[in-house]
Structure 1
Amino acid sequence: MKRENTTVQSEGGYQPGGDEEETTTLLGQDAQVSTGSSFTFSVFNLMNAIMGSGILGLAYAMASTGVVGFSILLLLVSSLAAYSIHLLLTLCDQTGVTSYEGLGERAFSKAGKVLVACTILIQNIGAMASYMFILKMELPPTISSFLGAEHSGVWYENGVVLLILVTVCVVLPLALLPKIGFLGYSSSLSFLFMLFFAIVVVVKKWSVPCPLPNNSTLSLISNSSVSDCSARLFIFSSKSAYAIPTMAFSFLCHTAVLPIYCELQRPTKRRMQNVANMSISLSFLVYLVSALFGYLTFYGKVDSELLRGYDIYLPRDVLVMSVRLAILLAVLLTVPLIHFPARKAVLTLLRGERHFSWLSHCVSTVVLLLIIELLAIYVPDIRNVFGVVGSTTSTCLLFVYPGLFYLRVSNDHIRSSTSIAAVALVVFGVFVGLLSLCVIIISWAQTS
């Protein structure tokens, strides 16, 4: 549908300014109602979509690129993520289309719509299944460490039982909510868990000695010396290639951007861009602080999953055990948020853009969660399988599609600054996708 470029005044007396971009709404008069999601809750929801278990690997990424190198790359990736969101919002403003799938249809007809929906579905199912797999593996030992249980065979040491329990009691009720804006409370709680993780990493920097104590039974801390207790600004090695995909996928939230935009109070393009900028900036800050102090704790001996190092040097530390549980709870609360765009992609493929139906809503929710549960329970290498698929689908959603759709739909000249930037975004996305795919294949080859 085409949107008329008219200024809309809300019932509450919202007076437009001089900038049409700031006052033109995506959905017209009906979108201005006060029942929409607030700016703060929208920020929390988008941050919840951004931050996940990947935060545990950023200290290792810094150890592979250096403090300054990591900071530059993280700033570059976050800026590109914000710019790709800007392109999506610009296309929504120009066309009146309210979904990622709709933009794909506008750019490449029905084939584009199906391609985007399938990409979202594959990426989100992979992410949710991976998160559920993490919960199945990590939740039982975390609970046991808190309870200090000495008996084996108790029910809370069974990962499958715990996974089914948290799915039925937590994930399913949240996923059944009719609007993504209702997840603002759980998303704010998830952000607090991530903030708690960053604070603990800062505090525990002075609890781990350096040089690290030598222990021949632990390869992670062998051959540590005083020379290892100095930060390096730039590092160029084969491991640096591993860091780039980790950082690139740390800002993937694009499948949730447009659903959040549609439910935002006074949903103007500039207001939603401010939501995205705030979410990415806060995520950038938490990422940088946790990565920096994690690196300054272990330096070149930092583990690819940061918390493992604390488990070795600070066993049965209450704060470390608490932060591990906090990360797992944050991951758990992220699953319902990722579920929303996945379910929307399914309904778009099966029903098209139709009015809301509780029957379709509930059936698709239950079926999706059942598929995710089965993948997490019965596929032991689910993270490796979706590592390959995720490297391609994530890159497309984050970089390639926004730039490609803009070049296809927009009337800007190909030599305009925005079009050139869109081309650069597509090229960077293809580069990151190929790089991450090569890294995964090489890792598999080395492991075998």
Structure 2
Amino acid sequence: MTIGSPKSGKEKKSRKSKQVVEEKVPLLPSKKEEDVGFDEFNGASFTGAVFNLSTTIVGAGIMALPATMKVLGLVLGIAMIIFVAFLTEASIEMLLRFSRVGNTTSYGGVMGDAFGKCGRIFLQICVLVNNIGVLIVYMIIIGDVLSGTTSSGIHHAGVLEGWFGESWWNGHTFVLLITTLFVFAPLACLKRIDSLKFTSALSVALAVVFLVVTVGITVTKLINGSISMPRLLPDITDLTSFLNLFTAVPVLVTAYICHYNVHSIDNELEDNTQIKAVVRSSLALCSTVYVMTSLFGFLLFGDETLDDVLSNFDADLGIPYGSLLNDIVRVSYAAHLMLVFPIVFYPLRLNLDGLFFPSAMPLALDNLRFTLISSGLLTLVFVGANFIPSIWDAFQFTGATAAVCLGFIFPAAITLRDRHSIATKKDKILCIFMIVLAVFSNVVAIYSDAYALFKKNGSSRKDTRLGNRNILLFASSGTIGDSGMDGKDEKRERDELAESLNDLSTSFSTMIKADLQGTNNILELMEKMNLSVAEEYKSFGGVVSGLRVFVEQLKSKSGSFDEYVQQIDAIEQQVTELEAVISMLDKYVYLLESKLHHFYQVSPL
């Protein structure tokens, strides 16, 4: 039976009210059961269902799509967005088709029908991992946008901080606490997903605001001639660059994940034969928003497009009222995520209840259980967003994997299992393709993320070692110390400096003897010396990066006067330390030259 196959009202009602026992107990209450507590509810409208499903789809993923254009190029990138939309529609169609024939009313019910209790539990765990990770990331982004964030020692002012200055009430934790109590909690208390249709409509409108602003800025810069021709095709030079293309697939798949809410929306529809049209309309709307955002976002920023395009709106746009437009984009995006939060929270609560209370009465009819689960999950997400420092790295792996399973692997596995013998040969071929694409791309993406993460951690450790070594150099050269020291302290410092320089001279002499014994080639010796000096200059990368970020902030004219003063003081300190290292390197060169002449008795060229 297909999604849109016509059915009589009697058949439709009986499907909604049929009870399934034991391992097939649905996570979602049937409409008849829900109507016991909501006598005035006559079913959700088509428009409300489209807005709710569209809001489920358009979450934070929209901000990552322009960066995929940098990997895939405009032509292949836009083609992949449309292609994944068709794959998503096919996977949802399979889910609903098997839920019809199996007489189940939830995603977990379909998995339980195909793979038994273990399949249902595995599905519920994946929904928990995916949705908890997504909600924590949403809350982190909201806090960063409104309150600011500090990265690599550089503070990026939030919207509230930029408007009102730094204060206790616009701090990260307090802002998230107020948002949780007065936005998330009231919306999370709604027991029907259809009750969120108005907030979902506003959420979609805010995503369109971001799109309109991006299009307007891009068109303005196109007229000014300040936008270069974007890359149309991917830059493939070797096997590594080819495999890198597959890292974009999990991003695209995650951008379309909505499968965990499809049954909730279907169960509340006044006419459930409309679900196929609801899915297609939502995917068409979201695909249009995705294509336009990717196109104009990549046109606007080109190869400078960051992984999160919102970060590109933290600098000078080079147009009039650029600062105002930046604030509009950031505020609208934060508000958009606030309204997406409850639509993702709804299936999280249902699946947690289905995992721990599979045989209990419907959650909507048990106020105590509903309240405890809702408040517990909100607390967990709040704590995760504020007090777990490495949560982002963890969900780079678990979240992406769970999303791909929910979107492609589980629907394909249900179809290949074909417990009711309704799958066609075409369905099975498509399912095999979906599983192969999902598994291969996810393995490549996880490998790339792991490699980048380990490389980043290795670089951090190396930078730490270089920083510690430079601090020792500064201390030995007298640049770091108490300016109020007495004569005895000064004498002790001079003695320590002389001893340090003597030790340094001895170590270089030993190094030269060991590495270059038996050669009198002055050019070779000087080359070795230059390499040694150049190695020391690598530690300047952090200082240069900090200066570059500060210059960008000055260009964008963002931040308060106090922040500028603090950053200027920090830069002065960095310049002082830089001069100390340069002075120390000059001493290195002098010592090396002296020791070369001393050991090898050669005349300078």
TM over 0.5, shorter chain: yes
Q: Does the 8 Å CA contact 2:61/2:255 hold for their aligned counterparts? A: yes
Count the aligned residue pairs: 416
Look up the match of 1:342. Answer: 348
Name 1:303's counterpart in structure 2.
306
| CA deviation map 1:366-404 (0-9, x unaligned) | 001111111111112322211100121111100000111
| Residue from 60, 66, 85 that aligns with 1:59 | 66
Structure 2 counterpart of 1:97, from 104, 110, 125 = 104
Distance 2:157 2:204 in 1: 21
Instruction: Provide closer, same or farther for how the CA distance between residues 276 and 322 of structure 1 changes in structure 2, counting only shifts above 3 A.
Output: same
Q: 1:378, 1:310 → 2: CA distance?
A: 27
Map 1:382-397 → 2, pairs under 5 A: 382-397=391-406
Q: Tell me if the contact between 1:117 and 1:346 (Cα under 8 Å) persists in the aligned partners.
A: yes
Q: Quick one: which amino acid aligns to residue 8 of structure 2?
A: V
- 2:180 is matched with 167
> Is the counterpart of residue 260 in structure 1 residue 265 in structure 2?
yes
Counterpart residue type for residue 427 of structure 1 = V
State the 1:446 CA deviation: 3.0
Residue in 2 that maps onto 1:240? 245
Please state whether the residue corresponding to 1:231 is helix, strand or coil.
Answer: coil
Structure 1 counterpart SS, 2:47 = helix
Task: Note the C-alpha offset of 1:47.
Answer: 0.8
Q: Report the residue type matching 2:9 in the other structure.
A: Q
1:37 is displaced (CA, Å) by 1.2
Asked if the contact 2:144/2:172 (under 8 Å) is kept, the reply is: yes
1:110 to 111, 117, 142: 117
- For residues 90 and 414 of structure 1, the distance between their equivalents in structure 2, rounded to whole angstroms, comes to 9
Q: Give the counterpart of 2:199 among 174, 178, 186.
A: 186
- 1:318-346 CA-partner distances (Å, limit 9, x unpaired): 12211111111111111111111111111
CA 1:144–1:435 in structure 2 vs 1: closer, same or farther (change >3 Å)?
closer
Q: How far apart are the structure 2 equivalents of 1:281 and 1:291? A: 15
Listed one character per residue, the Cα deviations across residues 73-93 of structure 1 (whole Å, up to 9, x for unaligned) are 111111111110000100111
Q: 1:147: Cα distance to partner?
A: 7.1
Match runs of 1:82-231 below 5 Å: 82-141=89-148, 145=159, 148-149=162-163, 151-156=165-170, 158-208=171-221, 229-231=228-230
- The one-letter amino acid of 1:201's match is T
Task: Report the alpha carbon displacement of residue 151 of structure 1 after superposing the two structures with TM.
Answer: 4.0
d(CA) in 1 for partners of 2:371 and 2:78?
A: 43
Q: Which residue of 1 aligns with 2:579?
A: none
Which sections of structure 2, spanning at least 5 residues, go unmatched? 19-29, 36-40, 149-155, 458-605
1:211 shift after superposition = 10
Q: Is the 8 A contact 1:31 1:265 kept in 2?
A: no
Q: 1:332, 1:46 → 2: CA distance?
A: 16
Q: CA deviation at 1:414?
A: 7.3
Measured in 2, the distance between the counterparts of 1:406 and 1:236 equals 37
Tell me if structure 1 keeps the 8 A contact 2:53–2:262: yes
The DSSP-based 3-state class of the residue aligned with 1:87 is helix
Other structure's SS at 1:233 match:
coil
Q: CA RMSD in A?
A: 2.7
- Deviation larger for 109-118 or 312-321: 312-321
Residue 435 (structure 1) aligns with: 444
The 10-residue stretch of structure 1 (174-183 or 25-34) with the greater mean CA deviation from structure 2: 25-34
Q: Percent identity?
A: 26
Contact 1:107–1:409 at 8 Å: present in 2 too? yes
- Whether the aligned pair in 2 keeps the contact of 1:25 and 1:267 (CA below 8 Å) is no
The alignment status of 1:357 with 2:360, answered yes or no, reads no
- Shift of the 118–234 alpha-carbon distance from structure 1 to 2, 3 Å rule, reads same
Contact 1:26 1:267 in 2 (8 A): no
- Asked whether the equivalents of residues 50 and 252 of structure 1 are also in contact (C-alpha less than 8 Å), the reply is yes
The offset of 1:133, in angstroms, is: 1.3
Contact 2:43-2:269 at 8 Å conserved across structures? yes
Where 1:161 maps in the other structure, the secondary structure is helix
In structure 1, give the amino acid aligned to 2:166: S
Question: The residue matched to 1:303 in structure 2 has which SS?
Answer: coil
Indicate yes or no: 2:12 matched with 1:9: no
Contact 1:210 1:229 (8 Å CA) reproduced:
no
Would the aligned equivalents of 2:146 and 2:160 in 1 still touch at CA under 8 Å? no
Distance verdict in 2 for CA 1:411–1:106, change over 3 Å: closer
Distance in 1, Cα, partners of 2:158 & 2:58: 26
Aligned pairs (5 A) from 1:276-287? 276-287=279-290
**Could you say what secondary structure the match of 2:338 adopts?**
helix
Aligned partners of 1:93 and 1:163: how far apart in 2?
41
Q: Please list the CA deviations of residues 290-317 of structure 1 after superposition, one character each: whole Å capped at 9, or x if unmatched.
A: 1101111122222222233332223862
Structure 1 counterpart SS, 2:9 = coil
Contact 1:51 1:250 in 2 (8 A): yes
TM-fit CA distance, 1:236? 3.6
Superimposed CA distance per residue, residues 194-250 of structure 1 (whole angstroms, 9 cap, x where no aligned partner): 0001111100014448999xxxxxxxxxxxxx9x81122211443533322211211
Q: Is 1:367 the equivalent of 2:372?
A: no
- The code of the aligned residue for 1:231 comes to P
Deviations 1:66-107 (A, max 9, x none): 111001111111111111000010011111100111112111
Q: 1:419-434 maps to which residues of 2 (within 5 A)?
A: 419-434=428-443
| Contact 1:194–1:330 under 8 Å retained in 2 | yes
1:42 partnered with 2:49: yes
> For 2:256, which of 251, 254, 257 is the aligned residue?
251
Change (3 A) 1:127 1:39: same
TM-superposed deviation, 1:360: 1.0
How has the CA–CA distance of structure 1 residues 345 and 143 changed in structure 2, closer, same or farther, with 3 Å as cutoff?
A: same
Identify which range, 305-314 or 118-127, moves more after superposition: 305-314
CA distance in 1, matches of 2:117, 2:247: 36
| The one of 293, 304, 309 aligned to 2:296 | 293
Give the counterpart letter for 1:57 in structure 2: A
Counterpart code for 1:378: F
Task: Tell me, yes or no, if the aligned pair for 2:206 and 2:336 is still in contact at 8 Å.
Answer: yes
- Give the whole-Å Cα distance in 1 for the aligned partners of 2:369 and 2:251: 36
- Deviations 1:46-73, CA, capped at 9 Å, x for gaps: 1111111221121111122111100111
SS state of the match for residue 272, structure 2?
Answer: coil
Quick one: distance in 1 between partners of 2:7 and 2:211? 43
The verdict on how the C-alpha distance between 1:111 and 1:416 changes in structure 2, with shifts beyond 3 A counting, is same
